[in-house]
Every structure is written in C-alpha cells, then in structure tokens.
Amino acid sequence: MAHSGQDLHGTDGYVLRLVRVEPDLLHMEASYGGTGQFPPKHYHPSQDEHFEVLEGTVRTIVDGEERSYEAGETFDIPAGTVHQLAADPPARLRWEVRPALKTAEFFEAVYGGDIPPDLLERFKDEVVFV
C-alpha cells in the first residue's frame, strides 16, 4: 500500500517521493533525470494540482499552450484541465494533489513494474487519458 516516505522509480531516472499521503492531500516531490519526455495527454476529473519548481526547468502543455517554469516559480492545474508535464533534466519539483483520492496507489501501480490490465478502470476517478 502506498505510504508517506515511499520512493517510486520510473524510467529514465525519474523518482517520485510520496512525502505525505492523506485523504485531502497528496504531497510529492518528483526528480527528473534522463530525457524529460512528455507523458500522454490527460486530466484529473475532480482533483486540483499545485506545483513548485525546486530545481531546473519544468515544461507544461496546458489546454494546448506550452510554457516553461524555472526554479522558484509555481503554477496550478485545475480539475478537468487537459495537460502534460515534463522537465529539462535535471529538475525537481514539489507537487500537491487535492483531494488525494487513490492517486498514490495509481503511481504505485504504474511504477511498480507490472501495470494491472484494469488500471484505467480502477483509477478513472483520478486520471483520464485523452
């Protein structure tokens, strides 16, 4: 089960630390190594996201508009907004999701090695890919 203090390792040097896992807040820190490729376009039906760039540069595409954020800058992505986020490695950011729902468990499933066949159905309240 996903828990505070857990590190999840993705491909290409990506590390996601679950700093705090509570019903109303999932607080994470993401570190980017590697190539910084964009994930698929997606949105969160009922969750707002807040980001703070701690090191490096983070790139976003939000509602089709691309923008870069540098260390010290913050930005928000409201629920229902189609977006993608990547970084120009090395980079690190603080990331909050409200409410948490089962987002920590989603990341644990994605980065756990064996993605379950029912992933999209199981986490449809957390993320929808477009």
The pLDDT of residue 100: 98
Q: What is the pLDDT of residues 42-100, one digit of tens each?
A: 999 999 999 999 999 999 999 999 999 999 999 999 999 999 999 988 999 999 999 99
Tell me, what's the pLDDT at 35? 78
User: pTM of the predicted model, to two decimals?
Assistant: 0.94
Cα separation, 61 vs 52, in Å, equals 16
- Average pLDDT, stretch 115-125? 95
CB 126 within 8 Å of CB 44 = yes
Q: What is the pLDDT of residue 37?
A: 83
Q: What kind of fold does domain 24-113 have according to CATH? A: Jelly Rolls (2.60.120)
Q: How far apart are CA 20 and CA 87, in angstroms?
A: 22
Separation of alpha carbons 76 and 91, rounded Å: 18
| Structure-block tokens of residue 21 | 């896992």
Domains of the chain, by residue range, sit at 24-113
Averaged over 19-24, what is the pLDDT? Answer: 98
